[in-house]
């Protein structure tokens, strides 16, 4: 056929392989594009075979013009007909696309792409030279060039065909031009019996059936014996607190399944792999549902043994043994990566009335997750509040080794906050104030609201201090108290990265921006009073569980409020730290 770059007579053909399972395959089996007929190439055709006998009506063949081999373009595409069953050793289905004279270009450097019903290229071949597609379904792909070709001196009635014995394309090789056999068995080609398609099976789950320690914010998991496609409803989770919406990839062998929320500590749940919504490449489904019954880890003390080495014999021994217990946590990036502080906080600070929203700490406003982060469109937005201001000892997001800076990214200390209220707080220490500016809360979930009366349900601030509203005073206090015990200087026990020494004080003169240690925050007496006035509630305890499931450490003053005393935070480091 004469080469055309724009208007060109129809046709597309395709070659080889629709990949299903290795034993059930669709591919190009034969084609003819050039002969010596003076009036133009005749009988141009492409034959496609389905080794499992399935219909081929949803497959499509694209023809590529490779006059510019590095930027080949499509010039035709056609649906493949259903085809007919033929016995060539084993039974297969053959379908033939027939073209008018000169329907398929003669080369050099022309090609064929075979596309499956999902729009995926399952084979991209070329003849008389390799090509790279610049458009169409094969865009960006480089062809597999055949070692055989036709010429203008070949008589009509010949073709290029596969021959050999086996179950799929890997068992066959392309042959030089010889008598065509479109719609029938190729000379020298025998299909052996296709083995049965073994259904996929679940080989593992997270958690396992009967587990009692699944993290409140953990990801579920399922692993299969082969790659499968997971349709909508393939995985379900039902808990005592209600059904959960799950997110997961559409295909794979191993699935990480996110709840995008925190489960309730101690609650019973059932995780189900729904067999009818799981399929392998050959269409087989698991024999039955997989049902996993489990319990979320209980709160209140961090589980058996977490505090077993804590020594309460004296304030100094309590301090050093608490530090030894909670140090060395897993630090996540502040931003970026797959899991970062946004990821954790948007679960930890989730609105208890709406899992698609978060509830901030200062304004008591409910925000849409992600959408309402600061930096987007105008309106009330939220960002991340460093309860221990980052300018007081750890301003950088990464540490001296280039790793996430543990104090800067510690989500026990970070809270989601209204962006404007966060700005009002700045790096002021927490303290009670008079003659301050009011920042009111909203009425939501049975709390907040009202203005004009001090302290009421409002936040208050001046140039020196920030006073948190009553319902969240204890939360802020315990976050800061935690930091003073978690960070005692030295290095991270696993990574070796430097860590600051953070101390609490009642002396405002010590609370200054610094990158040196010790760095101070306060006011200690105010924080301890807030801690007593607003003890941990169920929401704060659940938050502790969420962060524990990510970082691997806990805020001890949520689990054991009685440990937070002035003596603890003013105690000196003992000569020897004795762990129980």
- Neighbouring residues of 309: CB distance < 8 A, sequence distance ≥ 6: 321, 324, 325, 579, 580
Which pLDDT score, from 0 to 100, does residue 213 have?
Answer: 83
* Cα dist from 264 to 341, 358, 493, 557, whole Å: 21, 16, 31, 20
How would you write 137-170 as a 3-class SS string? CCCCCECEECCCCCCCCCCCCEEEEEEEEECCHH
Q: Global pTM? A: 0.60
**Residue 104, H or E segment:** none
Do 255 and 278 touch, CB atoms closer than 8 A? no
Which pLDDT score, from 0 to 100, does residue 526 have?
Answer: 97
Which pLDDT score, from 0 to 100, does residue 24 have?
Answer: 73
- Between CA 545 and CA 549, with CA 548 as vertex, the angle to 5 degrees is 90
Q: What is the pLDDT along the chain (580 residues), one digit of tens a residue?
A: 433 333 333 333 333 333 333 347 999 999 999 999 888 888 999 999 999 888 899 999 999 999 999 999 999 999 999 999 999 999 999 999 999 888 999 889 999 999 999 999 999 999 999 999 999 999 999 999 999 999 989 999 999 999 999 988 999 999 999 999 999 999 999 998 756 688 999 999 999 999 998 888 888 999 999 999 999 999 999 999 899 999 999 999 999 998 878 888 788 999 999 999 999 998 999 999 999 999 988 755 555 589 999 999 999 999 999 999 999 999 999 999 888 999 999 999 999 999 899 999 999 999 999 999 998 667 899 999 999 999 999 999 999 999 999 999 999 999 999 999 999 999 999 999 888 999 999 999 999 999 999 999 999 999 999 999 999 999 999 999 999 999 999 999 999 999 999 999 999 999 999 999 999 999 999 999 999 999 999 999 999 999 998 999 999 999 999 999 999 999 999 999 999 9
Which pLDDT score, from 0 to 100, does residue 337 have?
Answer: 82
In sequence order, what E strands does 280-389 have?
290-295, 350-351, 354-359, 366-368, 382-386
Torsion (CA) 256, 261, 267, 268 in degrees, nearest 10: -40
Cβ neighbours, 10 Å, residue 515? 12
- Neighbouring residues of 182: CB distance < 8 A, sequence distance ≥ 6: 30, 32, 45, 47, 96, 159
Which pLDDT score, from 0 to 100, does residue 11 have?
Answer: 31
Domains by residue range for the chain, with CATH: 18-191 (no CATH), 202-295 (2.60.40.3710), 315-570 (no CATH)
Q: Which residues of 80-114 are buried (b: 16+ CB within 10 A; e: fewer)?
A: beebeebebeeebbbbbbebeebbbbbbebbbbbb
Quote the longest CA-to-CA distance of the chain.
104
Which pLDDT score, from 0 to 100, does residue 34 have?
Answer: 93
- Neighbouring residues of 250: CB distance < 8 A, sequence distance ≥ 6: 229, 230
Torsion (CA) 229, 233, 237, 241 in degrees, nearest 10: 160
Please tell me the distance from the alpha carbon of residue 350 to that of residue 354, in angstroms, as a whole number: 8
* Cα dist from 49 to 26, 30, 172, whole Å: 6, 9, 12
Q: For residue 507, what are its two tokens?
A: 């002396």
Please tell me the distance from the alpha carbon of residue 479 to that of residue 475, in angstroms, as a whole number: 6
Kindly report, residue by residue over 431-461, the tens digit of the pLDDT.
998 889 999 999 999 999 999 999 999 999 9
* Cα dist from 409 to 361, 388, 394, 399, 479, whole Å: 18, 11, 10, 11, 13
- The residue behind tokens 């053959």 is 94
**φ, ψ (nearest 5 deg) of residue 201:** -135, 150
358 SS3 class: strand
Which pLDDT score, from 0 to 100, does residue 99 have?
Answer: 92
Sort 247 into a burial class: Cβ within 10 Å, 0-12 / 13-18 / 19+.
exposed
Please tell me the distance from the alpha carbon of residue 203 to that of residue 226, in angstroms, as a whole number: 10
Q: Which neighbouring-strand residues pair with 293?
A: 270
Residue 371 zone, left/alpha/beta (φ > 0; ψ -120 to 50; rest): alpha
Sort 503 into a burial class: Cβ within 10 Å, 0-12 / 13-18 / 19+.
buried
């Amino acid at each position: 056929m004469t080469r055309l770059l724009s208007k060109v007579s129809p046709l597309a053909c395709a070659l080889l392989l629709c990949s299903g399972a290795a034993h059930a395959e669709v591919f190009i089996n034969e084609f003819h594009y050039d002969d010596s007929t003076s009036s133009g190439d005749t009988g141009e055709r492409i034959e496609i075979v389905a080794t499992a006998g399935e219909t081929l009506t949803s497959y499509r063949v694209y023809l590529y013009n490779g006059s510019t081999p590095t930027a080949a373009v499509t010039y035709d595409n056609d649906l493949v007909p259903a085809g007919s069953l033929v016995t060539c050793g084993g039974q297969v289905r053959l379908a033939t696309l027939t073209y008018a004279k000169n329907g398929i270009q003669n080369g050099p450097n022309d090609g064929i792409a075979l596309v499956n019903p999902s729009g995926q290229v399952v084979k991209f071949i070329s003849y008389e030279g390799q090509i790279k597609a610049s458009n169409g379904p094969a865009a960006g792909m480089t062809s597999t060039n055949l070692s055989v070709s036709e010429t203008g001196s070949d008589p009509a009635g010949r073709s290029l065909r596969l021959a050999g014995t086996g179950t799929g394309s890997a068992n066959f090789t392309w042959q030089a031009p010889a008598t065509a056999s479109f719609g029938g068995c190729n000379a020298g080609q025998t299909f052996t019996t296709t083995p049965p398609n073994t259904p996929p099976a679940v080989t593992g789950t997270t958690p396992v059936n009967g587990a009692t320690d699944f993290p409140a914010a953990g990801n579920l998991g399922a692993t299969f014996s082969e790659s499968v496609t997971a349709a909508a409803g393939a995985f379900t989770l039902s808990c005592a607190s209600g059904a959960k919406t799950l997110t997961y990839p559409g295909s794979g062998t191993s699935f990480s399944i996110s709840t995008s929320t925190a489960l309730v500590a101690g609650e019973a749940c059932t995780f189900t792999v729904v067999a009818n919504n799981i399929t392998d490449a050959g269409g087989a489904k698991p024999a039955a549902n997989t049902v996993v019954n489990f319990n979320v880890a209980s709160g209140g003390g961090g589980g058996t043994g977490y505090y077993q080495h804590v020594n309460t014999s004296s304030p100094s021994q309590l301090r050093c043994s608490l530090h030894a217990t909670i140090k060395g946590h897993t630090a996540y990036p502040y931003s970026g990566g797959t899991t970062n502080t946004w990821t954790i906080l948007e679960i930890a600070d989730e609105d208890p009335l709406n899992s698609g929203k978060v509830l901030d700490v200062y304004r008591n406003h409910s925000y849409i997750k992600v959408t309402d982060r600061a930096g987007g469109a105008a309106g009330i937005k939220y960002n991340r509040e460093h309860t221990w201001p980052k300018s007081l000892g750890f301003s950088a997001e990464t540490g001296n080794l280039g790793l996430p800076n543990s104090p800067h990214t510690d989500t026990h200390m970070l809270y989601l906050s209204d962006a404007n209220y966060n700005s009002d707080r700045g790096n002021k220490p927490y303290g009670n104030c008079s003659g301050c500016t009011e920042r009111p809360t909203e009425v939501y979930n049975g709390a907040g609201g009202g203005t004009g009366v001090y302290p009421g349900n409002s936040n208050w601030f001046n140039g020196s201090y920030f006073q948190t509203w009553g319902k969240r005073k204890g939360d802020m206090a315990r976050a800061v108290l935690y930091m003073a015990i978690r960070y005692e200087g030295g290095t991270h026990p696993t990574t070796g990265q430097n860590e600051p020494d953070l101390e609490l004080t009642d002396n405002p003169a010590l609370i200054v921006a610094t990158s040196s240690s010790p760095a101070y925050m306060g006011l200690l007496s105010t924080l301890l009073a807030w801690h007593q006035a607003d003890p941990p509630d169920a929401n704060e305890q659940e938050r502790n569980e969420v962060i524990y499931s990510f970082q691997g450490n806990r805020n001890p003053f949520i689990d054991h409020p009685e440990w937070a005393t002035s003596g603890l935070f003013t105690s000196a480091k003992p000569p020897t730290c004795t762990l129980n």
